[in-house]
Amino acid sequence: MRATATSEERCAAVMRGVDALGFDLPDDVRARIQEQVTKNEEEPTSVSRFTREFFSFAGVPASRMLLSILLSIAGYLLQLAGAFFAAYAASWVYRAATTGDAPFDQLVVAAAVTLGVLAVHLLLTSASSLISHKIAFTALRQLRLALFSRLSRIPQGYLIENSVGRVRTLVVDRVGGLEDWIAHLMPEVPGRLAVPTASIVLLFAVDWRVALAAFAPLPLIILGIAVMMAGCEPRMQLWMASKGSLAARAAEYIQGTPVIKAFLQEDASFSRFAKSARLYQDTTMAWWRQSWLGNGITLAAMGSPFLAVVPVAFTLFGAGELDVFRLGLCLTLPLGILQHMYQLMSCFELFQMAVPIWNEIRGLLDYPALERPAASQRAALDPARGIAFTDVHFSYSDGSEALGGVSFTAERGQVTALVGPSGSGKSTIARLIASFWDVGSGSVSLGGVNLRQIPLDQLMEEVSYVSQDAYLFEGTIRDNIRLGRPDATDEEIVRAARAARCHEFIMALPQGYDTDAGEAGGRLSGGERQRITLARAILKPASFVVLDEATAYADPESEAQIQEALTEVVRGRSLIVVAHRLNTVRGASKTVVMDKGRVAAQGTHDQLIRESPLYRTLWRRFNGEEL
């Protein structure tokens, strides 16, 4: 209970910080922030945990990165050769000017050795970078494969509850956002940390007073970091959420362009996209504006070690406590501290951004998979029994109840229709049959066996689900129909197309069955796509066919043809139809009337007309009768 309270308190504190920034935030952005903050609080991520978890999913041995890190450390330490050569050159010039005892060949040898060491530095850092980039690209590929694999094993309802834009952003952009951390920061941070550390150690070896003087700007550096990090989390969370919202709006706008144009909603839809783009711009500027002052203080402080080091070093040199060579080291070694400490600060900020990215990715990787028996453990289904819902309760991930105590049976060899007002739970029932989710309580059984005890492969053999979206893959129409049964012959595909009443329009296309359907079937009308998906369902040897709004996008002519096609689907099979157009299911063996997630009535059309006020109202509305 305390952990939950702490999470809620933390989320409330971050949201207060977000509100204090003064942005007018849409609901989806606020929801994204709350979701991410809650997850970060419940599962905090450190550098070590992030690294460990990433490599466990990425399929790349962490030992390969260790080699890259070691090469990076060795390579960066060799950079110090430049400081030693500069100090030696100053000493050589001083000796040449004062005593004349400075053979030029000694300077040439020192320069040659330095160049050789710096060449090795470039070789080692290049090798480190090459290894880390190979690891990064391999790991990101494996991570994307792991995400797609997870998508195939989790409830398919995840793709309904999360927009395509959000999932695309997660798999493409969020994963890609880890590249810099893996390819650059992970190997370079230890190397860049090694140089300032070695520089400080060497300064203490030269003279402890000079080394202490190098720490004089430290209070200013701490102040600058504190200014940069003040209110960091609200700004960062807002920026991340606005970026995700922009990606979702862009995907929605692009995919919905035909509908937007058809209903003259271009201005309204573009306005929503433009607002998301403006919010992303403003939150980005808010992120950087807050960092500018702290960044300036820190950068100035890092450039000021010389303000203390130079007078101390020259005082000691004047007192004869430092020779020219050691004086040169006092003046050159702080450069290594300055150069690399600023990079390390940037790395810390990038890690702050990488953590929420990884947590979002991990959210999908950890999403609970459907628990089903292995494919080899096939269930013994009773061929005389159909699909039965028994006191089924189901709620979506946001907690909203979709079904409350639903019970009915869809007998084998019959047509069972699901009707009711929008939002009454019809499509949810259809998706539960296809195991888009598991029920919250109660049970759904097929052939007398609970769906949880049926392997998914076996269930998919028994159930053919046709959604209202009538999705087609980019490829030929022949290949799209063949998805119903990959080993089907061309003759069987044609028979299925004839049965689905789509053979004639297919043959009228430029390449017939070899015509490319276009992305998501975009080259075909809604009614044509639906008839092709019916052909796919007819070809698939499934015992149960679930049609979720099969005539949703059909014109009157296509609807009539789909009606004829349904008679072919029914032959030798059981049909469950979700319908708004009641004439398509008037002859159903049983019609289940849904209302607000519950079964309001069930029976034949004639029985429901007599006994169900809700069904009578739906029927009269469909026929345009006065109520």
Q: At a CB cut-off of 8 Å and minimum separation 6, what does 497 contact?
A: 481, 503, 506, 513, 532, 535
Q: 324: how many CB neighbours lie within 10 A of its CB?
A: 17
Q: At a CB cut-off of 8 Å and minimum separation 6, what does 157 contact?
A: 396, 431, 436, 437
pLDDT computed for residue 17 by the predictor: 76
Distance from C-alpha of 235 to C-alpha of 230, rounded to nearest angstrom: 10
pLDDT computed for residue 301 by the predictor: 73
Burial 207-220 (b: 16+ CB within 10 A, else e): bebbbebbeebeee
Q: Is residue 206 within 8 Å of 326, Cβ to Cβ?
A: yes
- Beta strand 401-410 with 463-466 is unpaired
Q: Name the CATH topology of 387-622.
A: Rossmann fold (3.40.50)
pLDDT computed for residue 260 by the predictor: 47
Q: Is residue 76 within 8 Å of 306, Cβ to Cβ?
A: no
Our measurement of the distance from residue 28's CA atom to the centroid of its chain's CA atoms, rounded to an integer in Å, reads 16
Q: At a CB cut-off of 8 Å and minimum separation 6, what does 416 contact?
A: 408, 410, 574, 575, 576, 577, 588, 589, 590, 591, 592
pLDDT computed for residue 111 by the predictor: 92
Please write the tens of the pLDDT for every residue from 143-179.
888 888 888 788 887 777 777 767 877 888 888 878 8
Distance from C-alpha of 419 to C-alpha of 192, rounded to nearest angstrom: 66
pLDDT computed for residue 262 by the predictor: 44
Longest CA–CA separation in the chain, Å: 120
Burial class (CB in 10 A: 0-12, 13-18, 19+), 223: middle
Q: 453: how many CB neighbours lie within 10 A of its CB?
A: 13
Torsion sign (Cα): 258, 263, 268, 272: negative
Q: Residue 174 carries which DSSP code?
A: I
| pLDDT-flagged residues of the chain (< 70) | 1-7, 39-46, 165, 229, 231, 251-270, 302-305, 338-339, 342-343, 345-353, 470, 519-522, 550-572, 624-627
Please write the tens of the pLDDT for every residue from 200-226.
899 899 999 988 888 877 777 778 777
Task: Look at the pTM and tell me if it is higher than 0.95.
Answer: no
Q: Packing angle between helix 490-499 and helix 556-570, nearest 10 degrees?
A: 120
Beta-sheet strand order (sheet of 463-466): 463-466, 544-548, 574-578, 415-419, 590-595, 598-603
CA proximity to 592, closest of 618, 613, 615: 615
